[in-house]
Structure 1
Amino acid sequence: MVALLLLLAAALLAAPGASARPQAAAPVPPATLTEVTGFGANPSNLQMYVYAPATVTAHPPVLVAVHWCGGSGPAMYSGTEYAQLADRYGFVVVYPSVTRSSRCFDVSSPQALRRGGGSDPVGVKSMIDWVTAAYAADTGRVFATGISSGAMMTNVLLGDYPDVFAAGSAFSGVPFGCFATTDGSEWNSACSGGTVIHTAREWGDLVRAAYPGYTGPRPRMQLWHGTEDDVLRYPNFGEEIKQWTDVRGVGQTPATTDTPASGWTRTRYGGTGDQAPVEAVSLQGVGHNLYAWGMAARVITFFGLDTSGPVPQPEPGGCRVSATTNAWNTGLTGSITLTNTGTTTVDGWRLAFALPSGQTITNGWGATYAPSAGAVTATNASYNGSLAPGASVTIGYQATHTGNSAAPGAFTLNGATCGTG
Structure 2
Amino acid sequence: MRFTEALSSLVAVAALAQGQLTKVNDFNAGPTKLGMYVSVPKNLKTPAPIVVAVHHCQGSATGYSGSTRYVQLSSQYGFIAIYPNSKSGGGCFDVASAATLTHNGGGDSQTIANMVKYAVDKYGGDPNRVFAVGTSSGAMMTNVLVATYPDVFKAGSVYSGVPAGCFSVPGSTATQDPPGWANSCANGQLIKTAQQWGDQVRNMYPGFNGTRPRLQIFHGTADNTLRYPNYNEQLKQWSNVLGLSNPKTSNNTPKSGWTQSIYGEGTATTAQLVGYSANGVGHSVPQQEAMDLAFFGITN
| TM-score (normalizing by structure 2) | 0.90
Q: Secondary structure at the match of 1:212?
A: coil
The residue aligned with 1:233 is 227
Is contact 2:19–2:74 with CA below 8 Å preserved after alignment? no
Q: Do the aligned partners of 1:224 and 1:237 also contact (CA within 8 Å) in 2?
A: yes
* Cα separation, 1, equivalents of 2:265 and 2:63: 34
Partner residue, 1:197: 191
What residue number does 2:293 align with?
300
Task: Give the Cα–Cα distance (whole angstroms) in 2 for the partners of residues 217 and 26 of structure 1.
Answer: 38
Q: Which amino acid is 1:289 matched to?
A: S
The one-letter code matched in structure 1 to 2:274 is E
1:285 matched to 2:280: yes
Contact 1:255–1:272 at 8 Å: present in 2 too?
A: no
Runs of 4+ in 1 over 4 A off after TM superposition: none
How far off is 1:39 after superposition? 2.0
Cα deviation for residue 26 of structure 1 reads 8.7
Partner residue in 2 for 1:126: 114
What residue number does 2:36 align with? 48
SS of corresponding position for 2:128 = coil
Mapped partners of 1:218, 1:272: distance in 2:
16
- Secondary structure of residue in 1 paired with 2:286: coil
Code of the residue aligned with 2:114 in structure 1: it is S
Letter in 2 for 1:280: G
Q: Which of 246, 249, 256 is equivalent to 1:262?
A: 256
Shift of 1:28: 3.6
2:20/2:71 contact within 8 Å kept: no
Counterpart residue type for residue 256 of structure 2: S
Equivalent of residue 46 in structure 2, options 20, 42, 58: 58
1:230 touches 1:287 (CA, 8 Å); kept in 2?
A: yes
| 1:61-76 alignment runs, 5 A limit | 61-76=49-64
Which structure's residues are more often strand, by fraction?
A: 1
The CA deviation string for residues 99-132 of structure 1, in whole angstroms up to 9 with x for no partner, is 2212100001111100111110111011101100
Tell me, in whole angstroms, the C-alpha distance in 1 between the residues paired with 2:282 and 2:82: 27
Aligned-pair RMSD on alpha carbons?
1.5
Shift of residue 191, structure 1, vs aligned partner: 0.2
Distance 1:156 1:91 in 2: 23
- What secondary structure does 1:201 align onto? helix
CA distance in structure 1 between the aligned counterparts of 2:207 and 2:250, rounded to whole angstroms: 34
Matched position secondary structure for 2:127: coil
Alignment of 1:23-42 (within 5 A): 28-42=16-30
* Partners of 2:186 and 2:227 within 8 A in 1: yes
Deviations 1:312-361 (A, max 9, x none): xxxxxxxxxxxxxxxxxxxxxxxxxxxxxxxxxxxxxxxxxxxxxxxxxx
Indicate which of 237, 241, 248 corresponds to 1:243.
Answer: 237
1:117 to 105, 116, 120: 105
Deviation (angstroms), 1:27: 10
The offset of 1:73, in angstroms, is 0.6
- 1:324-403 aligned at under 5 Å gives the runs none
**Equivalent residue for 2:141?**
153
- Residue correspondence of structure 1 range 159-178 to structure 2 within 5 A: 159-178=147-166
Residue 83 of structure 1, CA deviation: 1.2
Q: Secondary structure at the match of 2:125?
A: coil
Max Rg structure: 1
**Shift in Å at residue 31 of structure 1?**
1.6
CA contact (8 A) 2:222 2:228 kept: yes
Q: CA deviation at 1:183?
A: 3.4
Question: What residue is the counterpart of 1:351 in the other structure?
Answer: none
Deviations 1:26-82 (A, max 9, x none): 994332211012324212210000001231111000000000001011111111011
- Say if 2:19 and 2:42, in contact at 8 Å, map to a contact too: yes
Q: 1:27 touches 1:134 (CA, 8 Å); kept in 2?
A: no
Supply the distance in 2 between the matched residues of 1:283 and 1:34 (Cα, whole angstroms).
34
- Residue pair 1:263, 1:284 contacting (<8 A) in 2 also: yes
* Aligned match for 2:90, one of 73, 91, 102: 102
Structure (1/2) with the larger helix percentage: 2
Deviation at 1:260, TM superposition (A): 1.2
Structure 1 CA distance for aligned equivalents of residues 254 and 15 of structure 2: 39
Residues in 2 aligned to 1:139 and 1:267: alpha-carbon distance in whole angstroms? 29
> Aligned partner of 1:119: which letter?
G
CA separation of 1:172 and 1:65: change in aligned 2, threshold 3 A: same
Determine the C-alpha separation between the residues in 2 that align with 1:298 and 1:93. Answer: 16
The offset of 1:287, in angstroms, is 0.5
Distance 1:42 1:27 in 2: 24
Cα contact 2:201–2:241 (8 A) shared by 1: yes
Partners of 1:290 and 1:256 in 2: CA distance? 19
Measured after TM superposition, the shift of residue 256 of structure 1 is: 4.4
- The residue identity in structure 1 corresponding to 2:226 is L
3-state DSSP of counterpart to 1:75 = helix
Aligned to 1:80: 68
Query: 2:8 corresponds to which residue?
Result: none
Choose between structure 1 and 2 for higher RCO, CA contacts under 8 A separated by at least 6 residues.
2
Distance in 2 separating the partners of 1:196 and 1:256: 25
Could you tell me how far apart the structure 2 residues matched to 1:133 and 1:54 are? 16
How many corresponding residue pairs? 280
Matched position secondary structure for 2:217: strand
